[in-house]
């Protein structure tokens, strides 16, 4: 019979694991609309953080795209320090110079794992520090990078992997 071993001071390799978020559904999508490359998908949305501080900060490690409509086409997720003015759903994605200066990162979801009725894509290894400017929300917008046609009930969802600071 093997000797009993006591384990003490267990530490996660690489430090604190990323905070997991519940996937956020993109609002404002006109279902059945034919999106063209570089069109705005839906409207502005946010990732919220319950924080003791008045800001959302950390290290953005990556993100996840839940393609419930089974498109398997690239979608870019734009992340912003604050709110921005977007085009209407299904119009060309365009930012003013002032809003472009609020970009934290753009996550391009390009590789997909097929789950028969939907697909999953992730971006990893970013290690991008960020800090919102006066609020506990990181704002986001989705941009089509192909000819998407999203059905009702199958709206895309995103989540972020953030290391708390």
6 pLDDT tier (thresholds 50, 70, 90): very low
- Each residue of 32-80: pLDDT tens digit? 888 999 999 999 999 887 455 666 788 899 999 999 999 999 999 999 9
Q: Is the model's pLDDT at 3 over the cut of 80? A: no
- pLDDT recorded at residue 17: 54
- pLDDT recorded at residue 13: 39
Distance of CA 37 to the CA centre of its chain: 19
CA atoms of 153 and 158, how far apart (whole Å): 15
User: What is the DSSP secondary-structure string of 122-147?
Assistant: EE----EEEE-SSBSEEEEEEEESS-
pTM summary value: 0.85
- pLDDT recorded at residue 9: 37
Note whether 155 and 45 are within 8 A (CB). Answer: no
Exposure b/e, 142-163, CB count within 10 A at least 16 = b: bbbbeebebeeebbbbbbbbbb
Q: What is the mean pLDDT of residues 100-128?
A: 95
- In the chain, what are the domain boundaries? 36-164
Percent of the chain with pLDDT over 90: 60
Q: Quote the mean pLDDT of the chain.
A: 85
């Amino acid at each position: 019979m093997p000797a009993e071993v006591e384990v003490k001071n267990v530490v996660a390799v690489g430090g604190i694991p990323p905070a997991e978020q519940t996937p956020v559904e993109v609002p404002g999508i006109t279902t059945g609309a034919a999106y063209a490359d570089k069109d705005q998908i839906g409207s502005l949305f946010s990732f919220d953080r319950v924080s003791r501080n008045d800001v959302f900060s950390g290290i953005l490690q990556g993100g996840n795209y839940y393609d419930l409509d089974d498109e398997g086409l690239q979608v870019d997720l734009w992340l912003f320090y604050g709110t921005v003015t977007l085009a209407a759903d299904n119009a060309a994605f365009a930012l003013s110079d002032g809003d472009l200066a609020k970009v934290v990162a753009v996550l391009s979801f390009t590789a997909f794992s097929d789950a028969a009725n939907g697909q999953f894509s992730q971006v990893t290894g970013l290690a991008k520090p960020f800090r919102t400017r006066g609020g506990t929300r990181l704002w986001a917008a989705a941009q089509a990078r192909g000819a998407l046609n999203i059905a009702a009930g199958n709206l895309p969802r995103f989540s972020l992997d953030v290391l708390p600071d």
